[in-house]
Amino acid sequence: MPELPEVETVRRGLAPVMEGNTIAKALVNRPDLRWPFPERMAERLTGARVERLRRRSKYILGDLDSGETLLIHLGMTGRMLVSGDALGRFVHDHPAPEKHDHVVLDLADGARITFNDPRRFGAMDLMPTATAEQHPLLAALGPEPLGNAFSESHLVAALSGRTMPIKSALLDQKIVAGLGNIYVCEALYRCGIHPGRRVSRLSAKRIASLVPVIRQVLEEAIAAGGSSLRDFRQADGELGYFQHSFDVYGREGAPCRTPGCTETVHRIVQSGRSSFYCPSCQR
Q: Report the interface residues with Zn ion, using CB under 5 A.
A: 256, 258, 261, 263, 278, 280-281
Cβ nearer to Zn ion, comparing 89 with 257:
257
Minimum distance, C-beta of residue 253 to Zn ion, in the bound complex (Å): 13
Q: In this complex, which beta carbon is closest to Zn ion, that of residue 167 or of residue 194? A: 194
Q: Is 58 a catalytic residue?
A: yes
CA–CA separation, 112 and 93 (whole Å)? 10
Dist. CA 169–CA 174, nearest whole Å: 9
What is the closest distance, in whole angstroms, from the C-beta atom of residue 187 to Zn ion in the complex? 15
Please identify, using beta-carbon distances, which residue of 111 and 278 lies nearer to Zn ion: 278
Is 3 one of the catalytic residues? yes
In this structure, what DSSP letter does residue 90 have?
S
Phi, psi of 83 (to 5 degrees): -140, 160
Q: How far is the CB of 25 from Zn ion (least distance, A)?
A: 55
Active site residue 2: yes
For residues 271 and 162, give the distance between their C-alpha atoms in angstroms, rounded to a whole number: 17
Looking at beta carbons only, is 148 or 245 nearer to Zn ion?
A: 245
The answer to the question of whether 194 is labelled as a binding residue is no
Helix (H, G, I), strand (E, B) or coil at 252: coil
120 is catalytic: no
Q: Which residue among 3, 8, 186, 238 is the active-site one?
A: 3
Distance CA 268, CA 253 (A): 12
Residue 256, helix vs strand vs coil? coil
Dist CA 118 CA 100 (whole Å): 5
Catalytic residue among 11, 55, 58, 251: 58
* Angle separating helix axes 204-229 and 4-18, nearest 10 degrees: 40
Give the distance, in angstroms, between the CA of residue 169 and the centroid of all CA atoms in the same chain. Answer: 18
Per DSSP, helices labelled H in the chain are: 4-18, 41-45, 152-159, 166-171, 181-191, 204-229
In whole angstroms, give the CA distance from residue 136 to residue 117.
22
Strand partners for 268: 275
Query: Would you say 22 or 264 has its CB closer to Zn ion?
Result: 264
Q: How far is the CB of 214 from Zn ion (least distance, A)?
A: 20
The number of angstroms, rounded, from the C-alpha of 263 to the middle of its chain's C-alpha atoms is 31
- Residue 162 in marked binding region: yes
Whether 119 has a binding-site annotation, put simply, is yes
> Residue ranges for the binding site for DNA?
100, 119, 162
> Residue ranges for the binding site?
100, 119, 162
Q: Would you please indicate which residues are annotated as catalytic (active-site) residues? A: 2-3, 58, 273
